[in-house]
Structure 1
């Protein structure tokens, strides 16, 4: 008989329940000489003065505090604040924190050893809108759908506790506490167990570049957590490189380890790391990846970046044949942009640097980054580093994600703004690309529901967000009319949030049912033909421009095999392709001769090994 599986991450801050000893509380509050621990037991508050230690730490071991008790920290001005490392906030971000015993959960995934990155098909979902209930428990009920689709890994949008009843999660303020409206920490762990039981990996989106504006009390007792020396789109930067930065770095690095160890997650996606400014000798991103790789050695851990700067060096494979020594992969916005403009013809904002540039289309598909150090006019700066030495699996390819849908004024999906044949063509490209594909929830059946930006602030902050959202689009020609701007969904409205909830009954009717069947078929083709090749595709491919929006790309797979993509991504036929000799993997549209018809895609595998006589 095997013993109970326990998973606990020990950290230098927060509340640590110790069986037979009580609970140890630690808080870094250098701005206060005295801090009180305020315990709420049976509705009655009880205060304990915490011992002060060097460098701003306060600590107390309370023998009577048990799991389930609520607590806050009392500042010298009388303010009561939650624990910044709270494991759970039953009454949202302004309420008391809850003492949690991580050992109490009964883990059932002891045999899980993870899945290799090369076979990954990612599926990004938002817990609050994936189901009508919007909980971890309800999400479990849909896991079999993902398995039958061909998904191997779920990428969960941020669950760190954020203010209000709904939000995207990128304004979280308590990064260790799962959002209470989604469920308890044990509910999230049960979701992970259920996913692992179905051979699904779980990756969590985490935000280390800023804290949200509502419920962030760090500045009240640890002002050194932030610095005015660096600026971000959200204001003062998190202090990773100045005075007092050591506890800040540890807070973030332990958060990464906490999710990976205590929740047995298979990876993290780090949001907008280009906004993490660190001028110290060892960048916090480097320290974080080294600590994770050194700590977790019994299974693959997938660390994914979002990085507008296209820094290929963060993805470098230092030891040949050793997989990802540093970060595993990066969301590849360039692939999204080249395929989006091909399918839609849109040219506003950053799309203007991709429209009509077939060289960039071929380069993004073959090499990963379209910008590898060249000037990007929209950003008015040079962008990127050479990426040809990286394997294709160092990039995550997609045609939809929460940003690219939700940052539109009305949150329209690509199937609402592009012809079906165009969407199928670009999907046939990215879903079979040697890069790692990612679908956004509902994409597999061309969901009719939008995914607009939504949040749930109050007072002046809510009005500022509402006003700012409309002003953001005022510079676009199509929103010059104030009346049209007023039709942009109110991000604070409950109806905006509700509009994003998937309608699962759609999959029973066409055209959604047919799109779902198509997606299953193309992912089955990927599993059968592309995944076995990926270990032998170790470098970028080569691209050839055939005509406007028409390219041919080849990747060498070992000594003799070549994977070939031929794509005509426009509404006109294009001549100049090959005869399509080789083993056909996928044909989309009319793609059988030297001339490809509009919106046609051909995937072929050639073998130059001598045939036996």
Structure 2
């Protein structure tokens, strides 16, 4: 595939030099397109083949503009690099080379070093506010922050999955230069930065593409968000592939997390995106590509993608920690300990077995390395998709949560934490938007109807208690307090995370390349013993008891790396795993003994 460069991207307003900008809009349903500039000029774009309208104009960075379709409707540039203030304001010409990078030699971090901290930029106060947390996160042992989607959405408050201008960072979070400064500052702290991108749909408000580019969509195929995006078309593929390259090349993001790719009914597109990224990005850079994929398509993890979020692992752990079996957790209600053991030894739990709907789900994954799976105890989805956004520390005994945290941070899978986990944050993370009018009503009612499958909300009066996503107080309630840990419970949680990550950095992380699962044996309901061979030949073992009962087991002969609760090792002689207990041991590589005449 030919290399693509910044000045040859087809979509949007691309600066050709300091004084000239080329405007290009794919509008196959339009007869006439003009660009309306903020200096009063209205300039017709020249029609080209395949529905393109193109014009090179003398105008510098900072110029504000709109497109006009057929003299009837003004629309923002779908590939706008920035909006002046919000979705309804003009698009802005951006100079991609204006920012002066301070850490130009940053090449990223190899994937096996990933310890990911997912955060919502808006909930923390914007790009500049997020910067204030970087030193603390680096000190904690985090190696990468993952930003929930930034694409411009309607209003000022949103999770980000309602974005309609994928190239424009949300204006209420800050400018493109402030986003670059955040990434630059993170690199200065040794932190990689991942961006969550949404290529499976556009938000319901502010998407004008159907009015002049209906071929963007596949009307005979539908997703939960409406007509599917038609990735068969070259113009559509390029729109999203170029977007991925913009974030990686222009903004120097270190990786992308592709949201809900199971809603992209064209695996060839994903393969091409992965290939283009690997070809376009300097091979000396470490760039991570990860997926969210309900279909558990293991083959994609052999075709250019580093890992997948392992919802299976979370769901089994959640059932064990909380006892909840409603809705999608019902797929993990039976034998959750055995299911967790399969996750730790083979990656996916569902590898072709039928789910609760009777449909087969997943592909065999035991051949993949542990690092092909991102494990988490909770994330934005699993917290925010609860009616009241409760975090795990409100749902399970702290000792059980701490024991599960040992598994999360010391297993060879890639760990992901959600903002506030390290401080046992008490603030919820609710679903919030800032829609208005009829759409606001639809979102409010749709949100409440989602929980009809949960026993606690079978009654309509109970569903009316669910917070209104559009209310300002719903957003404010979701802003975590990430200040220094003052209370003893917060301090203990923070110190546990920091200590575990220190162990991971020192004893596990350097030996993850080449690691493979050996076994995971169920000891009793809620208790198991898992083993992995690391890349240097050493054997890591984690014995875990998430139940409230002591469990008999065969103690490891290897030295302990960590025990929770402290001094659990005194129980080793009795062969008993205490309730809410985690023991981590590491069998070192056996020394090579040479006889006379032998050579290494």
Q: State the TM bucket, normalised to the shorter chain.
A: over 0.9
Question: Would you say the 8 A contact 2:298–2:363 is kept in 1?
Answer: yes
Structure 2 matches for 1:200-239, cutoff 5 A? 200-239=191-230
Q: Residues 559 and 156 (structure 1 numbering): CA distance in 2 closer, same or farther, change over 3 Å?
A: closer
Q: Is 1:414 aligned with 2:378?
A: no
Q: Is 1:266 aligned with 2:254?
A: yes
Shift of 1:425: 1.0
Shift of 1:288: 0.2
Unpaired segments of 5 or more residues in structure 1? Answer: 1-6, 317-324
Q: Residues 354 and 35 (structure 1 numbering): CA distance in 2 closer, same or farther, change over 3 Å?
A: same
Shift of 1:62: 1.2
Corresponding residue of 1:147: 138
Q: Residues 466 and 598 (structure 1 numbering): CA distance in 2 closer, same or farther, change over 3 Å?
A: same
Question: Would you say the 8 A contact 1:390–1:540 is kept in 2?
Answer: no
Query: What does the per-residue CA deviation read over 1:499-548, in whole Å, with 9 as the maximum and x for residues that have no partner?
Result: 011113462222112211111111111111111220131x3331111111
Q: Secondary structure at the match of 2:576?
A: coil
Shift of 1:608: 5.8
Aligned match for 1:118, one of 87, 112, 126: 112
Query: What does the per-residue CA deviation read over 1:415-441, in whole Å, with 9 as the maximum and x for residues that have no partner?
Result: 011110111111111111100001100
Corresponding residue of 2:436: 458
2:314 and 2:220 mapped to 1: Cα distance?
34
2:19 and 2:372 mapped to 1: Cα distance?
47
1:465 and 1:95 mapped to 2: Cα distance?
24
Aligned match for 2:510, one of 527, 532, 540: 532
Q: Residues 560 and 255 (structure 1 numbering): CA distance in 2 closer, same or farther, change over 3 Å?
A: closer
Corresponding residue of 1:12: 10
Runs of 4+ in 1 over 3 A off after TM superposition: 7-10, 610-613
Question: Would you say the 8 A contact 1:368–1:540 is kept in 2?
Answer: no
Q: Is 1:499 aligned with 2:477?
A: yes
Corresponding residue of 2:556: 580
Shift of 1:374: 1.2
Aligned match for 2:121, one of 92, 113, 127: 127
Corresponding residue of 2:597: none
TM-score by length of 1: 0.93
Shift of 1:181: 0.5
Question: Would you say the 8 A contact 2:116–2:416 is kept in 1?
Answer: yes
Question: Would you say the 8 A contact 1:361–1:549 is kept in 2?
Answer: no
Aligned match for 2:584, one of 603, 609, 613: 603
1:370 and 1:228 mapped to 2: Cα distance?
34
* More divergent stretch after superposition (505-514 vs 306-315): 505-514
Structure 2 matches for 1:342-491, cutoff 5 A? 342-355=320-333, 356-376=335-355, 378-491=356-469
Q: Secondary structure at the match of 1:230?
A: strand
Aligned residue pair count:
583
Q: Is 1:102 aligned with 2:96?
A: yes
Q: Is 1:291 aligned with 2:285?
A: no
Compute the RMSD of aligned alpha carbons.
1.6
Aligned match for 2:54, one of 59, 67, 74: 59
Q: Residues 560 and 146 (structure 1 numbering): CA distance in 2 closer, same or farther, change over 3 Å?
A: closer
Question: Would you say the 8 A contact 2:542–2:584 is kept in 1?
Answer: yes
Question: Would you say the 8 A contact 2:352–2:362 is kept in 1?
Answer: yes
Structure 2 matches for 1:160-179, cutoff 5 A? 160-179=151-170
Aligned match for 2:288, one of 302, 326, 331: 302
Shift of 1:348: 0.7
Q: Residues 332 and 9 (structure 1 numbering): CA distance in 2 closer, same or farther, change over 3 Å?
A: farther
TM-score by length of 2: 0.95
Question: Would you say the 8 A contact 1:447–1:506 is kept in 2?
Answer: no
